[in-house]
Amino acid sequence: MSTTTTAHAPATALQRVVNVMRLHFANPWTTIILPWMILGVIFAANVALWWLILTNLDSSADRSDVADGLQYSGASMFIFFYMTVVAVQAISVTFPFALGYGVTRRDYYLGSALTFVVLAAMYSAGMTVLSVIEEATGGWGLGGRMFTAVYFGDGGWPERLFVFFTAFLFFLFVGAAIATIWVRWKAMGLTAFFVILGLIVIVAFAVLTFTSGWAVVGDFFAGAGWLGSFAWSLVVTAAAGITGFFILRRATPRT
């Protein structure tokens, strides 16, 4: 009787990264299902509100005024901020677990970053489809604006797709950077971060106010337009991604 031993080849770098992505998607409830469910509830509440408003308007002029006001709707903003929560939970929960199975910090962060890109692409595609339907139906037959609000540009669905994608990337990678601070320095580090961030914001506001610099800022974004302004957010996104990587390289999982 002869015994044959089959040696398993070590996983490639791509396989290790994909395994990290699978880890993040192991529980789709918090990353995929719950955000769409909450957004659906918000949408249903808005449709009911639009219908109640329209049924109590008598003239077309009043309807036009309401339609103008609805373009500033912030009803869909929830899902962008929720992506920060998704990123924080993804890093803080899975990082100790992944390292326990021998995943390197580099592979873990690359897998996490690709996960965030996939999530941003998925959500931005979904939001774009909803915006196209909203536009084609005249605001769901009620003149409502939830996915075509003025904040998402007015250049058609390709522009909105870019705006959605960059916005999702921004909130996901900023959330991931915050999570890496928590993983490495816990509450003390997170508190110090928000204190320093608050001071920076206050100083920046003071400088712009006392130097009459707000007009310059306004002119800059007006010149950049919607696409240019959101493209500049990629600078912050990249900085958050790089910062998070270097913080996580020296982080030690602790219970």
203 to each of 206, 207, 237, how far by Cα in Å? 5, 6, 22
Q: Given a cut of 70, is residue 63 above it in pLDDT?
A: no
| For range 30-51, the mean pLDDT | 93
Contact 243, 173 (CB under 8 A): no
Which pLDDT tens digit goes with each residue over 86-95? Answer: 999 999 889 9
Distance in angstroms (rounded) separating the CA atoms of residues 125 and 161: 7
Please report, as a single letter, which amino acid is at residue 193: F
The residue type of 227 is L
pLDDT of res. 254:
63
Rg over alpha carbons for the chain, rounded to the nearest Å, is 23
Pairwise CA distance, residues 59 & 187, whole Å: 56
pLDDT at position 135 is 93
Q: What's the chain's average pLDDT?
A: 88
The set of residues, in sequence order, having a beta carbon less than 8 Å from that of 231 and lying 6+ positions away, is: 162, 166, 224
Which of these ranges, 51-65, 118-132, 187-201, has the smallest mean pLDDT? 51-65
Q: What's 11's DSSP letter?
A: P
Place of tokens 């939970």: 89
State the pLDDT at residue 8: 54
Distance CA 193, CA 181 (A): 8
The band of 5, judged by pLDDT with boundaries at 50, 70 and 90, is very low
What is d(CA 210, CA 219) in angstroms, rounded to the nearest whole number? 17
The 3-class secondary structure across 190-233, one letter per residue, is: HHHHHHHHHHHHHHHHHHHHHCCCHHHHHHHHHHHHHHHHHHHH
